[in-house]
Chain A
Amino acid sequence: MGARPRLFDFNQERDRIIRDATERVFQIHVARAEANPSQGLEYLLNEAAFRELERLTRFGPDDEIGEVGSFGFWRGLARRVGSAGEGEKRRVLKRLVRSYLTDIAGNFDPRVYQFANQVLPVGLSLLFNAQGGGVPGSRFRRLRDRIQIEGDLDTLRALAQRGTMIVAPTHLSNLDSPVIGWALKEAGLPPVTYGAGKNLFTNRLLSYFMHNLGAYRVDRRISHGIYKSCLKAYSEVLLERGFRSLFFPGGTRSRSGEVERHLKLGLLGTGLTAYARGLEAGRPDKKLFVVPMTLNCSLVLEAEGLINDYLRAVGREDFLLPNDPFDSPAEVARFVTKIATMQTSMVIRLGEPMDILGHRVDAEGVSYDGQGRPVRLETFFEGPDGSYGLSPERDRIYTRQTGEALVEAYVRETVILPTQFLAYVLFEAARRHFPELDLVRVLRFGQDLHIPWDEVNAEAGRLQAILREAVRAGRIRALASVLEKSVPELIDEALVGLNVYHAKAPVEATGQGIRLGNMELLCYYGNRLRALEELA
């Protein structure tokens, strides 16, 4: 891995990071209040008090944060903020910001990291090979067989030494973060810090590892402006100080199973801000690189809950799913044990790295435009007077463009697996049987529909040909077995995979064809190929 990972220095710098971020958030809000007195600190603090009282009423006192987070504090603030002087408002703002940032800030213990690196592969190996035999050493190899890590790893390793890396994966499951941690180690890449939903810290064991491995806490139930700017500032300061980070730009697990297309750009924008601030400080060499990563899973632990959540409330995001199987260690173990029977459980694909504006970069860190010509990244941040710096309007457009480049990379780097392939074939067959019905009715009436083998084989063959062409053109990827196996072999592999874990089987093979079972799951897994439709 080369030099000592930057994250190993985190604890020595933690207080300084909190102090810098606190000062930044404080200054931003004071400057805004001075520039626009009608939206001054009173407005900001009032909004925070209103939303915090609402949250504490809903979730109870367990949700209090630090010294300033009690119900009484917020009620008192709401009552007196109108008559408070500017000095008092500023003192309250600073206290609040410091308190939030102390709660957000993570921790990194190298001893826990070394320990985790020893136990995580063993744990995963044992689980992934529960049905296999052999000596413990062989289990490590088997794990690597089951979880494939792909990409130009040499370039990524070189870049990791040249600048600050931002890993930007797609998001399917709460298992993603530990698996990515393992994959980065396997790939010879340094560890990263990342924001994890506070709900994940409720599991004591998991919380211990996450808290000591650089994860910082993100409470998605806090929705006011001060907290959001704390999160952004924390991420900016980390990146400016060279701490490699991981963001899930989709914001949350993909509910529909589709590859993310609508990204939340807030954290991605912190990378751009960090680079621009480096330029302001006369450090054009402090580069940041974004590494798109796709997580491609044959089966997803939370698939049923996620797709039902999507179907129940399209457009609304509930971050805490009822009866989330991730909350049950036994269910997680059952899931991992079951998918161990599959030939390939997961493909983690690290895409072509890009700079903070979405340009392709090479191993030397040189950026290239769409025509393959080198570009000087710093020139994009140059103002009319030749100086470098931040420009909120311009940088917002740049961030959106980087997000667009990331979405394109996600499609290009998505790896289609047999289960997704067959789910798509069968769900589309159901749609053809009910051409007049909308999605919800297809889900209802498609159950128990029998698709004859002739139709399954013909449609699978047709899709395989389309997929081969798309893969040849570099527009998407697919597992070799999807492209190379005969259609019957591919369907056999996918049938086994689809039915291996879920309580209500998605499909049932009969002598005459395939009977559709759990339509929601077919919809969920098949949705991975929706990106292909747009390419066609």
Chain B
Amino acid sequence: MSESSERAIGVVGQGPWMKMLVDLARTHGRRVVLWAAGDVEADDLGDLSGVTVAADAELLCESSRTILMATTFPELPSICERLGEHVQGHHQVVHTLQGMEPGTGRFATEIITELTCVRQVGALVGPIYPDMYLEGKPCGAIIGSEFPQVIDHLQGWLTSPRLRLYGSRDLAGVETAAAAVRPIAAAFGLASVLELGPSARGMLMARGVAEVARLVEAFGGNARTAFGMAGLGSLATQVEPPGASAYQIGEMLARGESLEAIVEAHGARARDLIETSRQLSARAEEDGVASHIVGALARMFSGELSAPAAMRELFALRQMME
């Protein structure tokens, strides 16, 4: 048995993502080392049979070369700082976050490469819901990484009869698309409350993905990525009622609920969506990229625009070629 096949997969974090990743790794008979990276009751971690629980980042990094991060954005920097003390160039780190860091607008792989020495990074995103997977539903996702080795390892280790895992070398495109579809999903929630009907939904889908493609290009990615798993695939699942958190936030916005109420209801996901909308909109403006839907969302979050006014504004845009 080669050294690589004996080595464990490392998982960092808690919650459904952690449970799904642990389950997938076990499906393949892989040894799993879990570092919860925070205070947690053993019962909350679920079924840990066959899982080695690491007390700290050092043990995790010694045992595994591939580390899957099932964390939130607020936790990510401090976890990376602790990992940074122990990782070396042979480690691969893959995150599962769809959005941008509140306050800085950085993507998760930017944080990982800034705070650790790891170069071989990736993003595991797309139309995937760990809860659904754990309920026994089939899922699909995409692993974005510039490094083919990272994609190969993840595809080999996580693909299962219930999970199809696609790969993309366009990491910038994958992270941007995964972030940018969230404001578009919020616009779907808005349209639902305003009862705009199926035609508007169709238009939002087509023009929303086109907008995501422009943003992907502005961030150095390939526009085609917007029409793949991280873009269109992810958006389609988020707007399916009852919808993902972004969709529900859009509904609250349309009902005129305050930002405080939205943040209270959706916590970090709401803060992340607000920041992502702002950051993407600012970048689009800077690069001269048309970003009408994301821009309208950003202005609604800052209180400059009401939901009906946003819709009127979008319909009043000059006629254009597709």
Contact = CB atoms under 8 A, between A and B. Distances in A.
A282 interface: no
A304 to B, nearest CB: 33
A385 B2 contact: yes
B90 A397 contact: no
Nearest to A374: B117
Given A385-B2, A385-B3, A385-B4, A373 B85 contact: yes
Given A375-B89, A397-B147, A384 B114 contact: no
Interface stretch (A2-10, A166-174, A386-394, A455-463): A386-394
B286 to A, nearest CB: 12
A284 to B, nearest CB: 12
A386 B3 contact: yes
B281 interface: no
B38 to A, nearest CB: 21
Given A375-B88, A394-B149, A386 B117 contact: no
A393 B89 contact: no
A381 B146 CA distance: 16
B119 interface: yes
A384 B149 contact: yes
B234 interface: no
A370 B88 contact: no
Interface residues on B, range: 20 to 34
B106 interface: no
A369 B117 contact: yes
Nearest to B152: A384
B14 interface: no
B205 to A, nearest CB: 34
Contacts of A359: 117
A310 interface: no
B115 interface: yes
Given A380-B89, A385-B3, A369 B116 contact: yes
Nearest to B146: A397
B147 A394 contact: yes
A377 interface: yes
A379 interface: yes
Given A376-B89, A391-B149, A384 B119 contact: no
Contact of A393 (B3, B4, B117, B147): B147
Nearest to B85: A373
Contacts of B220: none
Nearest to A359: B117
Nearest to B81: A371
Given A369-B84, A371-B84, A397-B147, A382 B117 contact: no
A401 interface: yes
A495 to B, nearest CB: 36
A401 B119 contact: yes
B15 interface: no
Given A394-B147, A394-B149, A382 B90 contact: yes
A201 interface: no
Contacts of B162: none
Contacts of B89: 357, 375-382
Nearest to A381: B89
B4 A386 contact: yes
B153 interface: yes
A381 B117 CA distance: 13
A165 to B, nearest CB: 22
Contact of B119 (A378, A385, A386, A398): A398
A401 B114 CA distance: 13
B267 interface: no
A384 B153 contact: yes
Contacts of A357: 89, 119
A373 B85 CA distance: 7
B148 interface: yes
B90 A379 contact: yes
A8 B73 CA distance: 56
A185 B117 CA distance: 35
Chain B CB within 10 A, most for which of A384, A393, A398: A384
A49 to B, nearest CB: 34
Contacts of B148: 393-394
Contacts of A380: 88-90, 119
Interface in B27-65: 65
B88 A376 contact: yes
B254 to A, nearest CB: 39
Nearest to B65: A384
Q: Considering residues B85, B88, B115, B153, which has the most beta carbons from chain A within 10 angstroms of its beta carbon? A: B88
Contacts of A386: 3-4
A436 B85 CA distance: 53
Given A379-B88, A385-B4, A393-B147, A370 B119 contact: no
A375 B117 contact: yes
A385 B148 CA distance: 16
Contacts of A370: 114-115, 117
Interface string B137-165: 00000000011110001000000000000
Nearest to B153: A384
Nearest to A368: B117
Interface string A480-514: 00000000000000000000000000000000000
A385 B115 CA distance: 26
A137 to B, nearest CB: 50
A2 B115 CA distance: 38
A275 to B, nearest CB: 12
Contacts of B81: 371
A352 to B, nearest CB: 17
A403 to B, nearest CB: 14
Nearest to B88: A379
Interface in B156-207: none
Contact of A373 (B2, B3, B117, B149): B117
Nearest to A387: B3
Interface string B95-136: 000000000000000000011110110000000000000000
A373 B84 CA distance: 8
Contacts of A384: 2-4, 65, 149, 153
Interface string B55-91: 0000000000100000000000000010011001110
A533 to B, nearest CB: 13
Interface in B235-261: none
Nearest to B7: A384
A376 B88 CA distance: 7
Contacts of A376: 88-89
Contacts of B2: 384-385
B47 to A, nearest CB: 29
Contacts of A381: 89
Interface of B: 2-4, 65, 81, 84-85, 88-90, 114-117, 119-120, 146-149, 153
7 residue pairs, one from A and one from B, having the closest CB atoms: A380-B89, A369-B117, A379-B89, A379-B88, A384-B4, A382-B90, A379-B90
Interface of A: 357, 359, 369-371, 373, 375-382, 384-386, 391, 393-394, 397-398, 401
10 contacts: A369-B116, A373-B84, A373-B117, A375-B88, A376-B88, A380-B88, A380-B90, A384-B2, A386-B4, A397-B119
Given A379-B88, A380-B119, A386-B3, 10 more contacts: A371-B81, A373-B84, A377-B89, A379-B90, A380-B90, A384-B3, A393-B147, A394-B148, A397-B119, A398-B119
